[in-house]
Copies of this chain bind each other. A is one copy, B any other.
Amino acid sequence: MKQSEILTGMIPVAPTIFDDDGELDLEGQGRTTDYLIDAGVDAICILANYSEQFSLDDTERDAVVERTLSQTAGRLPVMVTTSHFSARIARDRVLRAQRAGAGLVMMMPPFFGATMGVDDDMVIEYFQRVMDGIELDLMIQDAPLSPTALSTTLLARLAQTVPQVRYAKIEVPHTADKLRTIAQITGPTLPGLFDGEEGVTLLHDLQAGAIGSMASSSVPRELRRVVRDHLAGDEDAARSEWERLLPLIQYENRQCGLQAAKILLKEGGIVSSDSVRLPLRDVGQAHRSALIAIAKRAGAFVLSWS
């Protein structure tokens, strides 16, 4: 496989855009893509959990991939999430993403429900099977949703034994501690350390060794500046900007969840609906108003782009 340059900076998760009836809104998906590119992000991630991938069928997944890649038209890399319990189907999704022109792929380890996890040896075998001969880099996603645990030792083994594993997105309790340990034990074999979770621990994750963030699409332009300032050695600027954003991303993280980005995209005139699919609940008007007020005070780019 080719050893492509490691991405740094901001790889926002793009929400999957629905209309008020819950149908895919591919026009809105396209405008969201344009907005993210204009925000200056380094790549765009689609079909992640914050994209409600668990609420999509296979045909809809294909449609989101197709639209995002055609809209992007090579302007930046698109990261396609290809997680599936079955190695066979996950591999098929990776192959389709590769053929469609994805820049890289992201996956969680295999799991089903609260209790069906797999052991470390099977995690290795699974990813070897899925990625064999694939030319794309793989971001391993480490989140508490999965009953299949990813220890730092296992992440290091994965990076050593599956050459495509060059990124890890860590979003667990004490992400900074885990990032620091991974950085120590993996060094250059796992260079692409990212956090997630709306960026609520970004400053400390960067200090622990992260080189970028996979927060949501709410303030990707602003969070990218935090990463860039940090990587340029300007820690005061990074801290100042991150602390300025904290009330907004904290409200997103603790009060709204994944609908926050959709609410801001709608308020910014980029999409026409901020709906999520049942059984996810609408956060309600009070949270909507509070979030928008905080975003206005922060001068969020998402509100002024369109």
Contact = CB atoms under 8 A, between A and B. Distances in A.
A86 to B, nearest CB: 4
Interface string A112-146: 11111010001101100100000000000000111
Given A57-B89, A59-B58, A147 B278 contact: no
B279 A110 contact: yes
Contact of A277 (B58, B88, B123, B281): B88
Contacts of A114: 111, 113-115, 144-147
Contact of A111 (B92, B113, B118): B113
Contact of A125 (B54, B85, B144, B278): B278
B86 A278 contact: yes
Nearest to A127: B279
A87 interface: yes
Contacts of A110: 279
Interface residues of A, number: 36
A205 to B, nearest CB: 21
A39 interface: no
A299 interface: no
Interface string A55-87: 111110000000000000000000000001111
Contacts of A22: 88
A125 B86 contact: no
A195 B220 CA distance: 50
What are the 9 A-B residue pairs with the smallest beta carbon separation, nearest first? Answer: A113-B145, A55-B86, A58-B58, A87-B278, A114-B147, A54-B112, A114-B114, A110-B279, A118-B279
30 contacts: A49-B112, A54-B85, A54-B86, A54-B112, A54-B116, A55-B89, A57-B84, A85-B279, A86-B277, A86-B278, A87-B277, A87-B279, A110-B279, A111-B113, A111-B114, A112-B145, A113-B114, A114-B114, A114-B115, A114-B145, A114-B147, A115-B144, A116-B145, A118-B279, A122-B278, A122-B281, A123-B279, A125-B279, A126-B278, A126-B279
Interface of A: 22, 49, 54-59, 84-89, 92, 110-116, 118, 122-123, 125-126, 129, 144-147, 277-279, 281
